[in-house]
Structure 1
Amino acid sequence: MDIKKIHFVGIGGIGISGLARYMQAQGIDISGSDIAVSSSTNYLKSLGVNISIPHNKSNITSQDLVIHSAIIRDNNEELIEAKKKNIPVLSRSEALKIILKQKRVFSVCGAHGKSSTTAMLSSILNKYGAIIGAESKEFGSNVRAKKNKSIVFEADESDGSFINSNPYCAIVTNAEPEHMEYYNYDLDLFHSYYKKFLKKAKTRVINAEDEFLSTLKIKALRLLPSKDIRDIKHYLCDDEPYSSFSLYNNDKFIGDFEVWGFGFHTLSNASLAILASLDDLDSKEIKENLLNYKGIKKRFDIVCNNNRCIMIDDYAHHPTEIKSTLDSIKYYAKLKKIDKLSVIWQPHKYSRTINNIDGFSKCFKGVDKLIILPVWRAYEEPIDIDFYGYFRKYSPLFADEINRNGSKIEILKDNNILDVLDSGLIVGFGAGDITYQMRGLI
């Protein structure tokens, strides 16, 4: 298919916007539409992309291809018009087969840590293009828009589309069961997708301490984090969190490295990125380039830092992620000599919450104060969950919302202020609108 013009329906979504920006860098004429203006649509518009708000069938003219996000339904007027004009219409996951098929793809997937690992790998392989599922603070975007045969790509296991990412190098951070509704809650089916993904790759880098990945009889660079990552030190540099460590593989010394961030999960992610880069760069250049990584937005994202309190916004919405981030935060609190930790948790989706309720009930250990917000339902029907019963050991405060008021967080219930957080470490967890509440944007 000779593609010169692509229209993206639902272009404001981070996955679709990233794909659009990347294709523009490859010389493709891009246009798009969405239901409302967003930071993504404004950014693309500033780059010369023709953006239409809202959807309208008149946007479909002479494009060679129409790509739509997962939330766009078949009755969308632009999709209907494209089909009338015999313009191919593909979902994002279907389009990946075409867009990435000629690329040398460093494809990163896994239940946890894939955005950070992809961003780290992009920092190391900085001459290649990149599409990440979150904004890299290094270059202020989720896309490194470079025209190159190689690309660093965050692949999505939530809808099975990662097997369409044409992996040259497959990097798997872990394979903990997640998004199981897509896989009909069939663990064998879920694992079969990872096997297909890895089988397609020429080279592979896996976390060999993962319960499932450790069983695979495939040729791969196998990271054993508890054995291979040594001599760990956490420190502050210009008040930013950094870690240094030595990396080994099969008892072979790879090098000494430094990376932005705290916690063993951060070092594990960095180590996977380093191992995936060894065929392309020497360890000296890898070390230098990794220092360009400055974290990603909404992951250990410090949104307020003054003499009384530090506020951190974090996207973690699974108990494994929350526990790992809290471990990092405790290192940070120790170095900052802060002894008070308050957590605001917005559960994300009823299905995820109830499927992982035991893990959630344990992951807040060591927290001084826990505030629980209503479930961010994400289009799901409500499920009755006994939050008080599961979390009573934390003596939680149940609230409707929070209000950022300068360097304070007001905890609201029925429009009344229940409490005010204005000292110590204050952390917000969740993948819903808590990120905007923490930043005072709503």
Structure 2
Amino acid sequence: MNLKKLHSVYFLGIGGIGMSAIARWFNHLGIPVYGYDKTPSPLTAALEKEGMQISYTDDSSQIPAFFKDQGENKLVVWTPAVPESSQLYAYFRDNGFLIRKRSAVLGMITKDMESVAVAGTHGKTTTSSMIAHLLKHAGHNTAAFLGGLTQNYQNNLILHDEGSTEAPIVVVEADEFDRSFLQLHPNVSIVTSIDPDHLDIYGDAEQMLEGFISFIRLCNPKGQLFIHQKAFEKIKDQDLGTASIHQYGLTSGAVHAANIKTGTVSFTFDFVSENERIEGLELRVPGFHNIENALAAIAVGLYYGLSEKAIRAGIETYKGVKRRFECIHTSEKITYIDDYAHHPEEIRAFLESVKAMYPGKRLTAIFQPHLFTRTRDFATGFSESLSLADEVVLLDIYPAREQPIPGVTSSMLLQGISSPSKQVIDKENLLSYLTQHPPEVLVTIGAGDIDRLVIPINKWIKDGE
């Protein structure tokens, strides 16, 4: 299939962060893009402003006649976040439309390009956006399909210069959900972490390990694998193919950091590898885990020939990703940070960094669990990680693609949380609660719709100052 010769494309679940990047790619090519999503969002509003036609009703009558009636050169891109019971999905299936998963289409788009694929249960969005920024900022012809909105480019799609004489490098976020990353063909692979997750898809942790091993084997035999030490320890006895393997870690490994200094605005560190040392790098996206992400990104940048000057400039100008350790408000009275963390290990890494940045300050964490199965499978881990906060406020579970599971609620986490203050609160009562219990350092955490509380909370803070 020649994707560039398609007459039009329809996206089932166009508002997803990964889907929207591909939709933007087709739209950039001048191919008419249509789509469906369950609810409007700032992202779907942006897509409509860019010229895409979107419906929010699961009904085949909403499909534009132009897409229904044209010839064979049309494609339906589907994400499993939209169930097969969807009326739209059933219509496309029953009427012989060509339906491909998002992951397969991404694989087709990137298969003939030099590609860098970033996988991992945590850190892949930040790491992939860092790599893309380092290369782009240094003048390399770079494209990227990302799982978040970069603050540098205000987009989840970075386009390469098609008129350039330099062959493009495409950076791809390699999603393990639904084994999507097995559709890619990387020249360089990064694995930031392999912690159990998506057990509703994989069944158990061993099957998930097998998925990551299969992904690693897809790397070009003459390519490069950059893998976190903790991830490598879990699979070191397996056949990982013939790509050159480089381990990295915060303070140990062939690639590591030294002289780490924490601050409320930035972290500084030295990059250390077997052949390079770059001292005094300033990363303005705080967090020990973000230093680890930067180590992998810098190692990839050096592999592609970036100079120390280019590395330093790229790291210092990197602004981060929306909802990844995003500082919403800071003043002497209160600091407010928002983060996408939705796995116990992500929450632990996030809260440890916040506590290091604001020692002695009372830390209030508002957490919205994401998925009933994830809450059930990792309840103990969630409780332990959240216990790093002085005060924990739990919102109801965000169901996403799932139906409720009897007995699985946010309240089940309370018993294992050792924080002095802990409770479950309805979103409608949150601002009233904060008024009665003013925080010093406030964080909102989760991958559901908790992001819709960011603006109201920020307004509440400003109104109170």
**Deviations 1:106-126, CA, capped at 9 Å, x for gaps:** 111101111111111111121
Evaluate the alpha carbon distance shift between residue 124 and residue 152 of structure 1 in structure 2; reply closer, same or farther with a 3 A threshold. Answer: same
Corresponding residue number in structure 2 for 1:415: none
Question: In the alignment, is the contact (CA less than 8 A) between 1:22 and 1:144 conserved in 2?
Answer: no
Q: Give the corresponding residue for 2:403.
A: 380
- TM-score normalised to the size of structure 1? 0.87
Q: Does 1:340 align with 2:354?
A: no
Q: Which runs of 5+ in 2 are unaligned?
A: 163-167, 460-465
Deviation of 1:15 (Å): 1.3
Match of 1:242 in 2: 266
Give how far 1:320 is off: 0.9
More strand by share: 1
Counterpart position of 2:276: 253
Pairwise CA distance, 1:144: 1.3
The yes-or-no answer on 1:225 pairing with 2:233 is no
CA distance in 2, matches of 1:192, 1:136: 31
The Cα shift of 1:346 comes to: 1.8
Distance 2:157 2:403 in 1: 30
More helix as a share of residues: 2
Question: How big is the shift at 1:80?
Answer: 4.9
Question: 2:172 aligned with 1:158, yes or no?
Answer: no
Shift in Å, 1:79: 4.3
Return the alpha-carbon distance in structure 1 between the equivalents of residues 92 and 429 of structure 2: 44
The answer to whether the 8 Å contact 2:379/2:413 transfers is no
Equivalent residue for 2:142, pick from 106, 128, 140: 128
3-state DSSP class of the match of 2:317? coil
Match in the other structure for 2:165: none
**How many Å separate the matches in 2 of 1:403 and 1:214?**
49
For 1:366 and 1:8, how far apart are their aligned partners in 2? Answer: 41
1:360 to 382, 402, 405: 382
* 1:371 and 2:396 correspond: no
1:399 aligns with 2:425: yes
For the 8 Å contact 2:372–2:405, the answer to whether it is kept is: yes
Equivalence for 2:160: 146
2:109 aligned to which of 99, 102, 112: 99
Letter in 1 for 2:266: Y
TM-superposition CA deviations, 1:304-361 (whole Å, max 9, x none): 3344212222111111111111122123214xxx622111122222221222222222
Matched position secondary structure for 1:22: helix
For the pair 1:115 / 2:103, whether they are aligned, the reply is no
Name the aligned partner's letter for residue 301 of structure 2.
S
**In the TM superposition, what is the alpha-carbon distance from 1:197 to its structure 2 partner?**
1.2
User: Is 2:453 the partner of 1:427?
Assistant: no
The Cα offsets for residues 371-410 of structure 1, whole Å up to 9 and x where unpaired, read as 2222223323234253342226534122122557xxxx32
How far, CA to CA, are the matches of 2:384 and 2:39 in structure 1?
39
* Aligned mates of 1:397, 1:73 — CA distance in 2: 33
Structure 2 residue 11 is the aligned partner of structure 1 residue 8: yes
Tell me the equivalent position of 2:43: 40
Partner-residue secondary structure (3-state), 1:347: coil
Give, in whole Å, the separation in 2 of the partners of 1:356 and 1:75: 28
The question of whether the paired residues in 2 share the 8 Å contact of 1:403 and 1:438 is answered with: no
Whole-Å Cα distance in 1 between the matches of residues 418 and 230 of structure 2? Answer: 33
- Matched-pair identity in %: 27
1:293 lines up with 2:318 in the alignment: yes
Unaligned runs of 5+ in 1: 412-417
Q: Residues 59-93 of structure 1, C-alpha deviation per residue, up to 9 Å, x if partnerless? A: 43434222122233445455455456644211212
Which residue number corresponds to residue 169 of structure 1?
188
Change over 3 Å in CA distance of 1:85–1:399 after alignment to 2: closer
Is the 8 Å Cα contact of residues 35 and 55 (structure 2) preserved in structure 1? yes
**Count of residue pairs brought into register by the alignment:** 423
Matches of 1:388 and 1:30 in 2, distance apart? 45
Secondary structure of the residue that 2:266 maps to in structure 1? strand
Secondary structure of 1:225's aligned partner: coil
Structural mapping, 1:71-82, within 5 Å:
71-74=81-84, 76-80=86-90, 82=92
Is the CA contact (8 Å cut-off) linking 1:403 and 1:440 kept in structure 2?
A: no
The answer on whether the counterparts of 2:151 and 2:319 sit within 8 Å (CA) in structure 1 is yes
2:207 is matched with which residue? 189
**1:173 CA drift (Å):** 0.1
- C-alpha contact (below 8 Å) 2:131/2:297 kept by paired residues: yes
Q: Which amino acid aligns with 1:352?
A: R
Whole-angstrom CA distance in 2 between matches of 1:278 and 1:144: 21
Alpha-carbon offset, residue 52 of structure 1: 4.2
Change in Cα spacing, 1:322 to 1:77, as seen in structure 2 (3 Å) is closer
The Cα of 1:35 is off from its aligned counterpart by: 4.0
302-311 or 214-223, which deviates more = 214-223
For the 8 Å contact 1:174–1:213, the answer to whether it is kept is no
Partner of 2:290: 266
Corresponding residue of 1:60: 68
Aligned residue identity for 2:423: L
Tell me which amino acid in the other structure corresponds to 2:170: I
Distance 1:393 1:425, change over 3 A: closer
SS state at 2:118 partner:
strand
